Amino acid sequence: MTRTVLVLNGPNLGRLGSREPDVYGATSYAGLVDTCRALGEELGFDVDVRETNDEGEMIRWLHEAADGRLPVVLNPGAFTHYSYGMRDAAAQRTAPLIEVHISNPYTREEFRHTSVVAAVASGTVAGFGIGSYRLALRALAEELAGDGTG
Domains belonging to the chain, first-starting first, are 3-79+94-111+123-146 (3.40.50.9100)
Mean pLDDT of the chain: 88
Q: 138-144: long-range contacts (C-beta < 8 A, 24 or more apart)? A: 138/39, 138/43, 139/98, 140/5, 140/43, 140/45, 140/71, 140/73, 140/96, 140/98, 141/43, 141/44, 141/45, 143/71, 143/96, 144/3, 144/71, 144/95, 144/96
Annotated binding site for substrate: 75, 81, 88, 102-103, 112
Catalytic residue among 101, 106, 113, 133: 101
pTM over 0.85: yes
User: What does the pLDDT look like over 89-123, one tens digit per residue?
Assistant: 999 999 999 999 988 776 666 866 689 999 999 99
Annotated binding site: 75, 81, 88, 102-103, 112
For residue 113, indicate whether it is catalytic: no
For residue 24, indicate whether it is catalytic: yes
Predicted pLDDT at 48? 98
